[in-house]
Every structure is written in structure tokens, then in C-alpha cells.
């Protein structure tokens, strides 16, 4: 059983050691380490190009690292695709959202995990259970207080940027049973919509699910993160407690203006 970082000897829920990834001459990950504990919000911050997206893509199965190890609840895992990570309870909201614009909100919520109608004698038949998917999608979105759209059958291409973000975040929050990873979830949002997403993240933590939040928004990071992983030049530089440091301290670490402290992971 994993537990929080303050418990001596706790096993991280999701851990990486020595991740490497090169793109030709560019080193995106350079012996990167990572620790996420159960029920915490861990922010990952760093300058543009520091390797934050590459790190979370490796943790969510979207990128296969050249070297290094990933462990989930103490056991090594080798995700070959995001579906492998999803099956292990890890959901991700990518910057690019990965929604299908021509499909409806409900279809997007269930993309890749469609529900099918029960056949005779409890067998699963090939027919999609659209009614159930629409009902559950509506319930999830209402529960999460995220949607102001008229119909669950509305095509995603007809939604605003903020509403699309809402669908992507809701999908991850609804299905991530262990870890929800969010890459800049509030970047395209207005003040009110950002607030809803932050509340949603706190809600996900309340359910005991861990959250990884990649963000350039320092006030958001300092408001909700339990710990802050600072990434620099392809690796973890340090991890800080937001209660013990200021935003200026964090920026100084990020940009190399200040030397790192010991990793408190």
C-alpha cells in the first residue's frame, strides 16, 4: 500500500529513476527521476524545453524512454502505449487534448473504452450502448460542474476552447482511478473556468487519486500543490514544499539563478 510522502519509508505510487530520451542531438530527458505519492498533488514546473512534457509522456505511455525504470506501487512497469497506462489507472490530459472534434462529447468521453450492450446469457454484444454512455457522460460532467453545453451529443468541434478543455479534464478525472496527469490544464481557460478546473483537481485528490500538474502558472501551482518538482535541463533538479518557499525562489531554481536544495522526495 502506498502512502503520503510524510510517512517514513512510504513507497511512491508512481516512481521513475534515470529516464533518458534523446531526439537526435536533443536530450529531452537526462537521467530524470520522479516520485509521486498517493493522494497528493505534485506540480511539475520548469522552463520551456526543460523536458516536463517528455517526462509525463514517459509516465503515461505516450513515449518509450531509451533508458530508465518506471515503477507503479513498487512494481516495474513498461508502458508501450497510453492504453497500457490507462489500464493501470493512469489518465492524462495532454496539451493537445487528444479529442476527436467530429465526435460528440459523450463519444469523446468513452473514446477507446466504449460500453457495449449485454447480449443473451450475459455475453457482451458488438452493439454500442449509446444510452448508457450518454447517461454516464452527462452524470460525470454535471457532477464535476464543468459543462455549460446544451447537449451531450453536441460535436466537440462546436465547443469553445475552454469547453473542450473541460471535456478533456472531466474525462481524465472520471476515469483515472490512481493517477491523473494534467499538462497545462488551465492554459487556454478564463478566470472562472480555471477556477473550476482547480476545484476539480482538489476534488480528484479528495477521492484519494494522485494528481500530476504541469503548469507555468505559479499562483495556481502554489495554491494547490502539496509538493513542487522542479525540472531543469532534462532532469529533476529538486523538490520543494510550497509552504517553505516563495514563487520567486521557485523561478530562481527553475532558471538556474539559484543552486538546488536537496531533493525532499
Ligand X SMILES: Nc1ncnc2c1ncn2[C@@H]1O[C@H](COP(=O)(O)OP(=O)(O)OP(=O)(O)O)[C@@H](O)[C@H]1O
In the region spanning residues 62 to 81, those forming contacts with ligand X, defined by CB under 6 A, are: none
The C-alpha atoms of residue 181 and residue 219 are separated, in whole angstroms, by: 19
Nearest distance from residue 215's CB to ligand X, in Å?
Answer: 10
* 53: contact with ligand X by CB under 6 A: yes
Q: Which is nearer to ligand X, 28 or 182 (CB)?
A: 28
* 51: contact with ligand X by CB under 6 A: yes
Q: Which is nearer to ligand X, 59 or 109 (CB)?
A: 59
* 43: contact with ligand X by CB under 6 A: no
* 162: contact with ligand X by CB under 6 A: no
How distant is the alpha carbon of residue 2 from its chain centre? 19
> 163, 141 in Cβ contact below 8 A?
no
Secondary structure (DSSP) of 41-62: EEEEE--TTSSHHHHHHHHTTS
Burial 54-76 (b: 16+ CB within 10 A, else e): bbbbbbbbbbebeebebbbbeee
* 59: contact with ligand X by CB under 6 A: no
| Residue count (the chain) | 265
Q: Which is nearer to ligand X, 46 or 242 (CB)?
A: 46
Nearest distance from residue 231's CB to ligand X, in Å?
Answer: 6
* 208: contact with ligand X by CB under 6 A: no
The C-alpha atoms of residue 75 and residue 145 are separated, in whole angstroms, by: 36
> 167, 158 in Cβ contact below 8 A?
no
* 112: contact with ligand X by CB under 6 A: no
Question: Of these, 2, 54, 60, 104, which contacts ligand X (CB under 6 A)?
Answer: 54
Question: Of these, 17, 49, 119, 257, which contacts ligand X (CB under 6 A)?
Answer: 49
The C-alpha atoms of residue 204 and residue 262 are separated, in whole angstroms, by: 29
* 185: contact with ligand X by CB under 6 A: no
Q: Which residue has the cell 454516464?
A: 136
* 28: contact with ligand X by CB under 6 A: yes
Question: Of these, 7, 17, 26, 69, which contacts ligand X (CB under 6 A)?
Answer: 26
Question: Of these, 6, 48, 75, 150, which contacts ligand X (CB under 6 A)?
Answer: 48
Piece of the chain touching ligand X by CB under 6 A; list 22-30, 77-85, 128-136, 247-255? 22-30
First CA to last CA distance, the chain: 17
Question: Of these, 16, 32, 42, 50, which contacts ligand X (CB under 6 A)?
Answer: 50
User: Which ranges in the chain belong to alpha helices (H)?
Assistant: 52-59, 82-87, 105-109, 130-143, 161-175, 191-206, 218-224, 247-255
Nearest distance from residue 261's CB to ligand X, in Å?
Answer: 21
Question: Of these, 34, 52, 210, 242, which contacts ligand X (CB under 6 A)?
Answer: 52
Binding site for ligand X (CB under 6 A): 23, 26, 28, 46, 48-54
Amino acid at each position: 500500500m502506498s502512502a503520503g510522502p510524510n510517512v517514513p519509508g512510504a513507497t511512491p505510487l508512481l516512481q521513475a529513476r534515470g529516464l533518458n530520451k534523446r531526439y537526435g542531438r536533443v536530450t529531452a530527458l537526462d537521467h530524470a527521476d520522479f516520485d509521486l505519492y498517493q493522494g497528493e498533488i505534485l506540480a511539475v514546473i520548469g522552463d520551456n524545453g526543460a523536458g516536463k512534457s517528455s517526462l509525463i509522456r514517459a509516465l503515461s505511455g505516450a513515449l518509450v524512454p531509451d533508458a530508465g525504470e518506471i515503477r507503479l506501487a513498487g512494481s516495474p512497469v513498461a508502458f508501450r502505449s497510453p492504453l497500457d497506462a490507462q489500464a493501470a489507472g493512469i489518465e492524462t490530459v495532454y496539451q493537445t487534448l487528444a479529442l476527436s472534434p467530429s465526435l460528440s462529447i459523450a463519444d469523446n468521453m468513452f473514446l477507446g473504452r466504449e460500453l457495449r450492450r449485454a447480449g443473451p446469457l450475459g455475453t457482451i454484444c458488438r452493439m454500442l450502448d449509446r444510452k448508457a454512455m450518454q447517461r454516464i457522460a452527462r452524470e460525470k460532467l454535471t457532477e464535476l460542474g464543468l459543462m455549460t453545453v446544451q447537449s451531450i451529443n453536441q460535436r466537440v468541434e462546436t465547443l469553445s476552447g475552454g469547453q473542450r478543455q473541460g471535456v478533456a479534464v472531466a474525462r481524465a478525472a472520471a476515469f483515472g482511478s490512481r493517477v491523473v496527469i494534467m499538462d497545462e490544464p488551465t492554459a487556454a481557460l478564463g478566470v472562472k473556468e480555471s477556477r473550476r478546473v482547480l476545484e476539480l483537481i482538489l476534488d480528484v485528490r479528495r477521492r484519494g487519486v494522485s494528481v500530476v500538474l504541469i503548469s507555468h502558472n505559479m499562483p495556481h501551482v502554489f495554491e494547490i500543490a502539496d509538493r513542487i518538482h522542479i525540472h531543469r535541463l532534462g532532469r529533476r533538479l529538486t523538490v520543494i514544499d510550497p509552504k517553505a518557499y516563495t514563487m520567486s525562489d521557485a523561478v530562481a531554481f527553475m532558471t538556474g539563478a539559484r543552486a538546488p536544495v536537496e531533493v525532499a522526495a
